[in-house]
Chain A
């Protein structure tokens, strides 16, 4: 589903590469934790998958597409296969929960009846039924992240990327969010979650890819957060 072939990314010429010769293969339906300190290259990894950035060297394949030869007008098609959630939720404050989720369908031109059908469905999936008319500021952090997940999933992407999705949340709420992601994963969506949250990683026992200074220093299935353990 996602394959990195010896990928290197250098932002400014002469600087230390953000990713250095990374080779990773993520299968369809996998749940992968991407761990490592700030600046280890996690965000760059996700940006390359989204083709927000292009690799300096090597090749990136996502959902069967070679991103190095993907013309820029096809990028929107690629992104419709990928859902993304962020640490800071990135909801639209002037729209209700329902409208925030519907927005993702509106802007890719989905017909209204499809939106009316799909939005309640996905809100139920993330456990927000009954809060459709609320505005983001009336919701707790965990609920806001659920809205963001609903928005990411509403177009049924094959891949869900999560960049520190629990970074702003307390441990209990974080666990709820991660369980939700796990549930989405069981329905067949490939998930890549960049995180600092060691308890979460240890509890779920999924595949762990650890980056350090832009290099993959560990890649184990059913791994834990710290490599020393």
Chain B
């Protein structure tokens, strides 16, 4: 009896306020799509970081002959300087940050170069003397780059320290900005969604003023009076969330899977599975939104 009654009331409420309900669904849909897009961008950044940061190294380039950097004024890095640096990397202060450090001599660098460019670079044949000796350091935690860089920069024989992560930083910066933008729009849309849900529930409560008044007088419990309204809000919000999940799923399928992943193959991408991972959070946000909106409204309009 209870369930049947509540459901029929919910159905009635949804039909009576159809235009408002559709508006709530659409606004929730758009706002949660932005939330989801922000989430997916963050996941994408995470995936790229996982893959690239594991591979990148900090390179400590040693002074070559004829460098214009002040620290290299005394000319090419000497054997003794290289040994000092090796000791430094193995010392107690630095060692915990370093997972692995390898020395690449000019000859080794040249071999590597020849493999990569067998026909010479840009039409010029280079020799081992044009190469630069370096330490390749793999860090225990890539985010501790500054510590290692500070210790090494300016040491005798060191020309400059380069973190290969820098190369990706601008890409990540762009992606983080895009995701912040999406999140910002999502917040604005969520506020609109809450306001719209509030108005819809209020309208619904006004429509059923007589019923609720009688319910109160004959002693219907609070939840019984409130439940139909809360369910109305929750159903619209969840439908909106469902549409958002569907939209993101299709977006990932057509934009990422069928296009990006086909044309730019060297990077890992978010998948439709990631959208499904995100889905419970989106539905959760939708329900939370509906509960907040109806809680605020019902407290004021159907007071016992």
Contact = CB atoms under 8 A, between A and B. Distances in A.
B221 A76 contact: yes
A92 B5 CA distance: 16
Contact of B218 (A72, A80, A112): A80
A162 B219 CA distance: 17
B144 interface: no
Given A106-B5, A109-B2, A76 B213 contact: no
Interface in A62-119: 72-73, 75-84, 90, 92, 103-104, 106-112, 115
Pick the most buried of A84, A107, A152: most chain B CB atoms within 10 A of its CB. Answer: A107
A155 to B, nearest CB: 7
B211 interface: yes
Interface in B221-236: 221-222, 224-225
Contacts of A79: 216-219
A109 B224 contact: yes
A92 B224 contact: no
Contacts of A83: 218
A221 to B, nearest CB: 29
Contacts of B213: 90
Interface residues of B, number: 18
A104 B214 contact: yes
Contacts of A112: 1
A50 interface: yes
Contact of B220 (A73, A81, A90, A107): A107
Nearest to B4: A112
B304 interface: yes
Contacts of A115: 1
Interface residues of A, number: 28
Contacts of A155: 218-219
Pick the most buried of B213, B219, B224: most chain A CB atoms within 10 A of its CB. Answer: B219
B116 interface: no
Contacts of B214: 90, 92, 103-104, 107, 151
B224 A107 contact: yes
Interface in B216-265: 216-222, 224-225
A84 B218 CA distance: 8
A111 B225 CA distance: 17
B99 to A, nearest CB: 61
Given A72-B304, A76-B219, A76-B220, A107 B5 contact: yes
Contacts of B304: 72, 75-76
B215 interface: yes
A76 to B, nearest CB: 4
A90 B210 contact: yes
A128 B11 CA distance: 31
Pick the most buried of B213, B214, B217, B220: most chain A CB atoms within 10 A of its CB. Answer: B217
12 contacts: A72-B304, A73-B221, A76-B304, A80-B219, A92-B210, A103-B214, A104-B214, A104-B218, A108-B221, A111-B1, A151-B218, A155-B219
Interface of A: 50, 72-73, 75-84, 90, 92, 103-104, 106-112, 115, 151-152, 155
